[in-house]
């Protein structure tokens, strides 16, 4: 099993990741790669060491392009992800769908909407479908197999195509079932091969924390008769040199053991996800654009015929400058189940907008690369906008909820006021606050303590309220109210700003809670007061902005068949 091999090789990989001088000269390595023999970890480590000189990076990219032009098919394969569920029992700290994220939209795509969406996607010309799902206990392998079979049968009806799957890791018999249902290939990223960092990013209690099961997945997939595999790491969780070298080792191990070349190599890079603090800020493992280009080049050389999986986490300009013969390319990408029917809803991570698929295809053809799995477009009844009917919006329930939120903002303000040093005349008000929080009335010097305790209890309760609010009211707005507005550029940009506010409030509440802990230790309320005042001010501004927008809305009928 590869996990046992990795235990033995871990120190070697760490040493190779750290070398500062190449073990072989880059020119020799280029010759090996241009002969189509692929590269070993020592060669890739040497290229990383050589790339500390910036001029060398240009040579490495040029050599990689020569390798691909010589060995890879003169095609670029289009692939489109289709998410099935966004419910998840795991706590991957980098992911917008982690279980505890209160602002993640949770959707399970029912068979009827799945069919409708697939018809739409096929009408756009796509013929390679990647089914994607989070770790949803209600979406086991048997259910997934039904969606695979439905995709296979639709593709066959439209002239054929390819079905890929990115799912939680399963057992061998599950992959047999999926293969028999019509699955062609499996996509699975190890995230990071470094065990301590793998544990750190995957919170205790998460099923995904089972490192061995994940790293030994390919043995089970291959034993089930699926020989087309896509492996890789999420760049940015650990030192990219170490992780890329581990991918090279893993792929070369599979090549030596089973005679299987990787069908695809993943190059996802950590990007911001809504409500996920760890993904928002650069960390010491953040991969720069320059390093990303280097990773692409070494993969291109190490596996001359494998497909690098270019995805919309990256900008179009960056991807189109790097894609070569034989790669996979994503143009259309929605990461929320059903979002191709209801465009531009926030999903698992942030993505970029791309030019129309025809334009991308033409651009590739200018470079002598034929687009594969993208055929001519056809009209489709499921296109967004077609079946909509008009109805006036009922503002009342939204306004009532806003009134409740305003009342709680006032409570928040009072609780903050309880932390400030006060003149004695306000003592009665403090005691009233204390009673409201269920504390006994005190007098004299005890009043200051009472005031702090009351504010503390009240603030905790208020934090709970606002976190629940994000998970209910804000999500309800995003899933029911916002998608129903007429798609008008001005309204769209206002809705995008309101969504961004929801996300920022989640992060601000986290910050506020952390400041409450600091205040408990220092008893200095300055930061808490300033931060709280800002959040309250911004929430009030947000409510007003939403209310200004409501009268402009004429709701279209909302599609009801999503299961929330």
- The residue ranges that bind ligand SF4 (CB under 6 A) are 88, 90, 92, 95, 97-98, 134-135, 208
**Which one, 134 or 351, has the nearer CB to ligand SF4?**
134
Cβ neighbourhood burial of 424 (10 Å; 0-12, 13-18, 19+): exposed
Smallest gap from residue 203 Cβ to ligand SF4 (A): 9
Smallest gap from residue 168 Cβ to ligand SF4 (A): 6
- The CB-side HSE value for 193 (13 A sphere, CA atoms) comes to 30
Smallest gap from residue 89 Cβ to ligand SF4 (A): 8
The token duo for 311 is: 């995805």
The token duo for 170 is: 């399963």
Radius of gyration of the chain (CA): 27
Smallest gap from residue 91 Cβ to ligand SF4 (A): 7
Question: What is the residue whose two structure tokens read 């916002």?
Answer: 482
Question: What is the residue whose two structure tokens read 């990115």?
Answer: 166
Smallest gap from residue 503 Cβ to ligand SF4 (A): 16
Report d(CA 123, CA 381) in Å as an integer. 9
Per the CB < 8 A criterion, the answer to whether 544 and 501 are in contact is no
**Which one, 100 or 561, has the nearer CB to ligand SF4?**
100
The token duo for 382 is: 């499921």
Smallest gap from residue 273 Cβ to ligand SF4 (A): 9
Smallest gap from residue 192 Cβ to ligand SF4 (A): 12
Report d(CA 175, CA 225) in Å as an integer. 8
**Which one, 98 or 241, has the nearer CB to ligand SF4?**
98
Smallest gap from residue 235 Cβ to ligand SF4 (A): 14
The token duo for 7 is: 């235990």
DSSP 8-class letter at 138:
T
**Which one, 98 or 313, has the nearer CB to ligand SF4?**
98
Smallest gap from residue 382 Cβ to ligand SF4 (A): 26
**Which one, 411 or 510, has the nearer CB to ligand SF4?**
510
CA distances for 458 relative to 338, 409, 472, 483, 516, angstroms: 40, 12, 21, 35, 12
Report d(CA 208, CA 214) in Å as an integer. 8
The token duo for 281 is: 């800020």
**Which one, 216 or 411, has the nearer CB to ligand SF4?**
216
**Which one, 191 or 431, has the nearer CB to ligand SF4?**
191
**Which one, 349 or 519, has the nearer CB to ligand SF4?**
349
**Cβ of 407: how many Cβ atoms within 10 Å?**
10
DSSP SS3 for 535: helix
**Which one, 167 or 430, has the nearer CB to ligand SF4?**
167
DSSP SS3 for 163: strand
Among 46, 39, 23, residue whose Cα is nearest residue 248:
39
DSSP SS3 for 481: helix
Per the CB < 8 A criterion, the answer to whether 334 and 312 are in contact is no
Smallest gap from residue 193 Cβ to ligand SF4 (A): 16
Run of H or E residues at 264? strand 264-266
Smallest gap from residue 241 Cβ to ligand SF4 (A): 23
**Which one, 215 or 409, has the nearer CB to ligand SF4?**
215
Maximum Cα interatomic distance, the chain, rounded to a whole number of Å: 87
Per the CB < 8 A criterion, the answer to whether 294 and 46 are in contact is no
**Which one, 92 or 144, has the nearer CB to ligand SF4?**
92
């Amino acid at each position: 099993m590869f996990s046992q091999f990795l235990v033995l090789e871990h120190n070697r990989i760490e040493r190779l990741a750290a070398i500062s001088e190449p073990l072989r000269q880059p020119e020799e390595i280029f010759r090996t790669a241009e002969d189509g023999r692929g590269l070993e970890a020592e060669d890739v480590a040497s290229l990383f060491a050589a790339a500390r000189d910036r001029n060398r990076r240009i040579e490495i990219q040029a050599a990689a392009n020569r390798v691909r032009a010589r060995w890879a098919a003169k095609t670029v394969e289009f692939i489109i992800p289709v998410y099935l569920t966004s419910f998840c029992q795991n706590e991957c700290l980098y992911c917008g769908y982690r279980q505890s994220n209160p602002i993640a939209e949770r959707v399970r795509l029912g068979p009827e909407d799945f069919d409708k969406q697939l018809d739409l996607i096929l009408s756009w010309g796509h013929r390679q479908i990647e089914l994607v799902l989070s770790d949803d206990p209600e979406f086991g392998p048997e259910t997934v197999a039904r969606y695979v079979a439905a995709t296979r049968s639709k593709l066959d009806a439209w002239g054929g195509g390819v079905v890929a799957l990115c799912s939680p890791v399963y057992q061998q018999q599950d992959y047999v079932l999926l293969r028999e249902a019509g699955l062609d290939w499996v996509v699975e990223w190890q995230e990071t091969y470094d065990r301590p960092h793998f544990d750190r990013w995957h919170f205790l209690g998460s099923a995904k924390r089972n490192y061995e099961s994940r790293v030994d997945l390919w043995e089970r997939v291959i034993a089930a008769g699926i020989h087309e595999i896509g492996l890789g790491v999420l760049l940015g969780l650990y030192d990219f040199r170490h992780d890329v070298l581990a991918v090279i080792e893993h792929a070369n191990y599979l090549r030596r053991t089973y005679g299987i070349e990787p069908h695809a190599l993943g190059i996802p890079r950590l990007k911001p996800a809504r409500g996920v603090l760890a993904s928002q800020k650069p960390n010491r493992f953040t991969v720069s654009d320059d390093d990303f280009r280097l990773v692409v080049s070494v993969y291109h050389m190490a596996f001359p015929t494998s497909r690098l999986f270019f995805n919309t986490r990256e900008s179009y300009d960056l991807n189109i400058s790097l894609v070569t013969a034989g790669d996979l390319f994503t143009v259309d990408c929605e990461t929320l189940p059903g979002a191709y029917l209801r465009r531009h809803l926030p999903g698992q991570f942030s993505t970029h907008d791309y030019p129309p698929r025809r334009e991308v295809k033409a651009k590739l053809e200018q470079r002598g690369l034929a687009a594969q799995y993208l055929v001519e477009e056809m009209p489709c009844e499921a296109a967004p906008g077609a079946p909509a009917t008009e109805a006036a919006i009922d503002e009342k329930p939204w306004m009532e909820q806003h009134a409740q939120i305003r009342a709680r903002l006032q409570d928040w303000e009072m609780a903050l006021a309880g932390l400030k040093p006060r003149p004695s005349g306000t003592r009665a008000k403090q005691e009233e606050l204390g009673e409201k929080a269920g504390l006994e009335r005190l007098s004299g010097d005890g009043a200051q303590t009472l005031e702090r305790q009351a504010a503390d209890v009240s603030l905790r309760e208020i934090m709970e309220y606002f976190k629940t609010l994000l998970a209910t009211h804000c999500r309800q707005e995003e899933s029911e109210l916002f998608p129903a507005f007429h798609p008008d550029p001005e309204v769209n940009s206002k809705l995008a700003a309101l969504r961004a506010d929801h996300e920022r409030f989640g992060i601000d509440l986290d910050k506020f809670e952390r400041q409450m802990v600091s205040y408990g230790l220092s008893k200095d309320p300055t930061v808490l007061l300033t931060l709280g005042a800002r959040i309250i001010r911004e929430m009030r501004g947000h409510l007003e902005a939403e209310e200004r927008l409501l009268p402009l809305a004429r709701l279209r009928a909302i599609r009801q068949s999503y299961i929330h």
